[in-house]
């Protein structure tokens, strides 16, 4: 029996096997994240097409370039605010409150999106960004805290957790896509709010399953530091509110394309400076410097990868809407359903990739982190070769079969499975122990930089010239392939850098 005051006490869940052999708390977190991802990806699949829709049809009439830039800002901000959300949970409110209040903010954001109007739409986007920044990093951290350091179930627990993420992503695209076709965009945004609401209800009803899991801040701060922190947060929120209000009443004009470029430059500069600071001023040993050098190349590969991969919600979404024959008999495939291909492919392919690395290791074939990331980047780039030919056909004023997008999403998913989990593993193992948390935060910036770059890149694709589109896809394919080959060549050297305490990874 637990006393009412759980405080910082850890509850032994080693013998809790009530959820497929795992602690029952995993069900609480996995289902909460599943519904949050349903709402996030369900809305994301609607975003750029809705903003570019003519005003007469209920949209905002933005150019495709501007819509893509807003998309890049949105997705980039989601990852960037995750750093702040993790900091707040660690030092001020704990993970459980961060997830709960983050979910509430997300739900109200989707409700705001469901109300017709330019101001309510962009206000809703801001709320979703802030709420996701609170919820997303902390719910993942809570999964890890269900297990002790020696509990061998941790990796498979995360596998179940990521399965929930992808099930939610697939459901979001299908449900919100159907709602958009049948009832309109705002009803689809409302469906995303309902999904988040369901997640919050089950989170609260099953809260007993996560008793004492990240329920308090993990970093002790003085009362003065806490007050200062809340004052800074309040000041930042005030500035954001003032800028938002001024933009809404037309006192300031925001150019999304220019803003995206500026922010991408700022975030990339922070990324470089932080890495340089750790490398040159972190009192690293020669071995640690080699580890950090190898990790830097992997982070650059991650930026390149996400700049291409995030075309899924931007330029590929426009391609599905404008250039793809979506008719199956008398039924028109909703554009948003293509967004569900990636999570479905992940669910199907993940077991095969897990088995692949294990079987290769049994044969004493252990590709380095750099090699795996290079392979992922090259495979992702081949998807752009596919899109080059698809865009060539579409430039001839004919719509192409859905199979072109299906093939592209398949290749991008294979690339993701080669690079994304491997890069995360590299961060956890190559980071010097005293900089592990900071370097994971810096690594998350690669998602933000890649997403911002994706918005700008998509703007080039959708610049209004059908002849330009295949050319841009070809350039991306060639650049990504070249970057992958260069990383592969570097791997002959960096393989020696990827040694920790004399043992090769």
For 400-456, how does the pLDDT look when each residue is reduced to its tens digit (9 = 90+)? Answer: 999 999 999 999 999 999 998 888 888 878 888 788 777 888 888 999 999 999 999
How much is the pLDDT for 205? Answer: 96
pLDDT range class, residue 11, cuts 50, 70, 90: low
| 246 close to 127: Cβ distance less than 8 angstroms | no
Q: Residue 334 pLDDT > 70, yes or no? A: yes
Question: Comparing C-alpha atoms, which of 388, 264, 248 is closest to residue 315?
Answer: 388
Q: Residue 492 pLDDT > 80, yes or no? A: yes
How much is the pLDDT for 501? Answer: 59
Q: What percent of the chain has pLDDT over 70?
A: 95
Give the other-Cβ count within 10 Å of 367's Cβ: 17
Residues 49-69 have a mean pLDDT of 89
pTM more than 0.85:
yes
Residues 357-381 have a mean pLDDT of 85
Q: What percent of the chain has pLDDT over 90?
A: 65
Q: Name all domains of the chain by residue range, CATH numbers in brackets.
A: 11-220 (1.20.1250.20), 256-505 (1.20.1250.20)
Cα gap 316→344, rounded to integer Å? 17
Q: Is 453 exposed, middle or buried (0-12, 13-18, 19+ CB in 10 A)?
A: buried
Lowest mean pLDDT among 12-16, 191-195, 282-286, 310-314: 12-16
For the chain, the average pLDDT equals 89
b/e burial code for range 325-356 (CB count within 10 A of at least 16 → b): ebeeeeeebbbbbbbbbbbbbbbebbeebeee
User: Torsions phi, psi of 9, nearest 5?
Assistant: -65, 140
How much is the pLDDT for 500? Answer: 67
How much is the pLDDT for 141? Answer: 86
How much is the pLDDT for 463? Answer: 63
Residues 244-255 have a mean pLDDT of 88
Cα gap 16→501, rounded to integer Å? 35
């Amino acid at each position: 029996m637990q006393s009412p005051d759980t405080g910082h006490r850890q509850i032994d869940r080693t013998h809790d096997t009530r959820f497929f052999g795992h602690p029952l708390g995993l069900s609480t977190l996995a289902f909460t994240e599943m519904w949050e991802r349903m709402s996030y990806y369900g809305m994301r699949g609607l975003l750029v097409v809705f903003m570019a829709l003519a005003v007469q049809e209920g949209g905002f009439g933005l150019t495709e370039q501007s819509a893509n830039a807003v998309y890049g800002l949105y997705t980039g901000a989601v990852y960037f605010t995750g750093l702040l959300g993790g900091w707040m949970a660690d030092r001020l409110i704990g993970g459980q409150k961060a997830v709960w209040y983050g979910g509430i903010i997300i739900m109200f954001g989707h409700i705001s999106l469901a109300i017709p109007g330019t101001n309510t739409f962009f206000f809703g986007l801001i709320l979703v960004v802030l709420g996701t920044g609170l919820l997303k990093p902390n719910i993942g951290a809570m999964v890890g805290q269900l297990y002790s350091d020696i509990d061998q179930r941790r990796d498979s627990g995360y596998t179940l957790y990521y399965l929930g993420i992808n099930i939610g992503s697939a459901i979001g695209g299908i449900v919100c896509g159907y709602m958009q076709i049948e009832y309109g965009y705002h009803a689809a945004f409302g469906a995303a709010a309902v999904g988040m609401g369901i997640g919050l209800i089950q989170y609260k009803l099953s809260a007993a399953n996560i008793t004492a899991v990240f329920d308090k801040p993990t970093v002790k701060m003085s009362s003065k530091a806490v007050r200062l922190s809340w004052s800074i947060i309040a000041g930042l929120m005030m500035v954001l509110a003032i800028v938002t209000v001024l933009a809404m009443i037309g006192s300031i004009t925001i150019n999304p394309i220019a803003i995206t470029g500026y922010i991408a430059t700022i975030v990339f500069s922070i990324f470089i400076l932080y890495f340089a600071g750790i490398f040159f001023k972190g009192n690293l040993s020669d071995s640690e410097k080699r580890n950090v050098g190898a990790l830097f190349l992997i982070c650059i590969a991650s930026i390149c990868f996400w700049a291409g991969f995030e075309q899924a919600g931007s330029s590929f979404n426009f391609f599905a809407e404008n250039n793809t024959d979506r008719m199956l008999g008398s039924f028109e495939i909703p554009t948003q359903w293509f967004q569900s291909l990636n999570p479905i492919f992940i669910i199907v392919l993940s077991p095969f990739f897990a088995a692949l690395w294990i079987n290769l290791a049994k044969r004493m074939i252990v590709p380095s982190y750099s090699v795996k990331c290079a392979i992922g980047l090259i495979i992702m780039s081949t998807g752009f070769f596919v899109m080059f030919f698809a865009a060539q056909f579409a430039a001839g004023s004919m719509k192409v079969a859905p199979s072109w997008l299906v093939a592209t999403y398949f290749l991008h998913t294979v690339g993701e499975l080669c690079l994304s989990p491997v890069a995360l593993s590299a961060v956890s193992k190559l980071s010097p122990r005293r900089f592990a948390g900071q370097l994971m935060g810096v690594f998350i910036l690669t998602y933000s930089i890649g997403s911002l770059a994706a918005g700008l890149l998509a703007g080039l694709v959708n610049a209004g010239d059908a002849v330009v589109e295949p050319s841009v896809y070809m350039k991306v394919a060639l650049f990504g392939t070249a970057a992958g080959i260069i990383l592969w060549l570097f791997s002959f050297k960096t393989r020696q850098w990827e040694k920790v305490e004399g043992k090769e990874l």
